[in-house]
Amino acid sequence: MIDSPGIAFGAILSAAPIAYVRRLVGEHVCELLELLQGSKPDDNTLRTVAVSAVSVERLVADPDERAQLLRLLPTAKQEELARRLGHADRSSAATLLARLPWSVEQRRTFLGFLGLVVDRAPEAPVSAVRGVEPAYSLFPYQRTAAGKVRRLLYTGERRTVLHLPTGGGKTRTAMNLVCDHLRQNEPTVVVWLARGRELLEQAALEFVRAWSMLGDREVTVVRMWGDAPTELDNITDGVVILGLDKGGSAAKADPTFLDRLALRTTLTVFDETHQAIAPTYRKVLDALTLRSDSSLLGLTATPGRTWADIAEDERLAELFARQKVTLEIEGYDNPVTALIEQGYLARPTFRTVAAQSGMTLSAQDRRDLAASFDIPDELIVRLSTNVQWNLQVVRTVLDLAAQHRRVLLFAASVEHSRLITALLGMLGMDADQVTAESSTRHRDRVISRFKGAGPRPMVLSNFGVLTTGFDAPAASAAVIARPTRSLVLYSQMVGRVIRGPKAGGTPTCEVVTVVDPELPGFGDVAEAFTNWEDVWKAQ
């Protein structure tokens, strides 16, 4: 029986040698704190920042770090931990802990002992079947685009891309088309392909909402990603929301899976179409569209793979028979401008803040940069630990938080997100973060609070999880501290704060990109909308 509560990581740090704490946070953090506070940080400040900024999971996973952490445990706590791990010999607790093989389960027990929640909530419900009943209106420009898409989906090549700007309602327009298809083809299956839990869950919830207003019968909605099963026996009429990675792994486990699903499928929707020519995803897509009466709809705000690689963009265009329905609004050369003036999109203010990091690029750095699709990871790591650059990131967030109730921060890495969140918390800000390492439970709780109506300004930092499928209309400012040369990624980040009042958002928004003058970047999302027109046929 466990008769003691373990020990919190913060309690260990409160008694640990300050040299150990300084090593954990790094000298660049100590220097950054000194610049932010105007004096050298005291020991308590360093310990407070370390509690939030240091990844305990990584300390426990690393043998040397784990051994040092175990040595910092009081003797009584070493004995208690040994008992939790199933060993009752108190006289040799330290020796026993040092000799353990430290399996995954043993490391999980240690994390629990330190007060961390180690059990992950299910990635998604196994399946969901709901009866829905018939209000789900489209804006005029969306209705016009939907009409053009219908013509292309059911004649000729039976495939096209719907190209609407970020915040323009691609998902809502597509769900109208999906509902039309289900009403006109009874029974049939529509497969919605996407990557990432946020996009997949958004699609599932949005379909239920759409069908409850537009449907004419009860259909099946199947969530098929994460740990959900890939059973097809009872799926004959409805929508399968299929994760791309799940589809690929299911096909490896059962070579007939995609063929059996394709036999029932007459419409496939690929969200974030610019990913479609990735080899593993292309295999899933090709398998699902073999039927002669099968239609394919792509959705994107950025109908290209890259900023400048015309060959990649050509391959994507050819996959969709070069057919793309692009938003057109009479009297405007760029429809993004029209949507801003008409209140569908927020009027954005784009500005950049230069952070003179002092980082010098070598000749090899420049060669690596020229040869890479995006900024090389090694350069990102160097920049994300640079004191002057991080100082500018923190100051930029504080400046925006004084003017906006909800601010999104796009960090350069998981570690960078953790650090900036810890520093903001130390300065009294309401700040939290979500990354791919966050548990589903934590992620949902933080996002719900960010979307809430609390009057106190809040900063939500993230890395890699809120660029797509995340909708928080109250967010009116974004700090882009993730250097990128990908116009696709940049547009997706900007898109999280650009919804206008007619779409439940704000009249204006502010996007600040913290840049290092040595690295390439972007400053205006409107240029993304027309960048790829040369590889598509006008419709």
109-140 residue pLDDT tens:
888 888 876 555 455 555 556 654 337 888 88
DSSP character string of 314-333: HHHHHHTTTBEEE---TT-S
Q: 319, 325, 349, 344: which is closest to 157 by C-alpha?
A: 319
d(CA 47, CA 426): 11
Q: Where are the beta strands (DSSP E) in 37-171?
A: 159-163
Best CA proximity match to 206, nearest among 174, 161, 247, 245: 174
Q: Is the pLDDT of residue 307 over 50?
A: no
Listed range (37-46, 135-144, 311-320, 467-476) with the worst mean pLDDT? 467-476
Over residues 213-218, mean pLDDT:
93
pLDDT of residue 341 exceeding 80: yes
User: Largest alpha-carbon pair distance within the chain?
Assistant: 84
Instruction: Using the predicted structure, report yes or no on whether residue 498 has a pLDDT greater than 50.
Output: yes
Residue 320 CA: distances (Å) to CA of 43, 147, 303, 502? 60, 18, 11, 31
Cα angle 462-276-156, degrees, rounded to a multiple of 5 = 140
Tokens representing 160 are 């096209």
Q: Which pLDDT tens digit goes with each residue over 66-100? A: 888 888 988 888 888 888 888 766 567 777 777 78
Using the predicted structure, report yes or no on whether residue 453 has a pLDDT greater than 80. Answer: no
Token code pair at residue 69: 């952490």
Residue with the bigger pLDDT between 190 and 383: it is 190
Share of the chain above pLDDT 70, in %: 83
Beta strands, E only, 470-529? 477-480, 508-515
pLDDT band, residue 386 (cuts 50/70/90): confident
Architecture of domain 140-327: 3-Layer(aba) Sandwich (3.40)
Indicate left, alpha or beta for 26 from its phi (over 0: left) and psi (-120 to 50: alpha). left
As a whole number of angstroms, the distance between CA 245 and CA 27 comes to: 40
User: How far apart are alpha carbons 28 and 46 in whole angstroms?
Assistant: 12
Phi, psi dihedrals of residue 61, rounded to the nearest 5° = -75, -30
Q: How many CB atoms lie within 10 A of CB 330?
A: 6
Query: What are the residue ranges spanned by the domains of the chain?
Result: 9-113, 140-327, 343-526
Its pTM stands at 0.64
Domains 140-327 and 343-526 share a fold: yes
CB 420 within 8 A of CB 514: no
CATH of domain 343-526: 3.40.50.300
User: Which has more pLDDT, 50 or 471?
Assistant: 50
pLDDT at 535: 37
Which residues, in sequence order, are CB contacts of 400 under 8 Å at separation 6+? Answer: 407, 477, 479, 510, 512
Angle at 511 between CA 501 and CA 406, to 5 degrees: 60
Scan for tokens 């990128």, then name that residue.
Answer: 484
**Sheet containing strand 220-224, strands side by side:** 220-224, 238-243, 189-194, 265-271, 295-300, 159-163, 324-326
Strands 324-326 and 430-435: unpaired
Interval 358-381 mean pLDDT: 64
Mean pLDDT of 412-416: 87
pLDDT on residue 467: 54
Which helix (H) or strand (E) segment is 133 a member of?
none
Look up tokens 């969530």; give the residue: 223
Q: What pLDDT was estimated at residue 259? A: 93
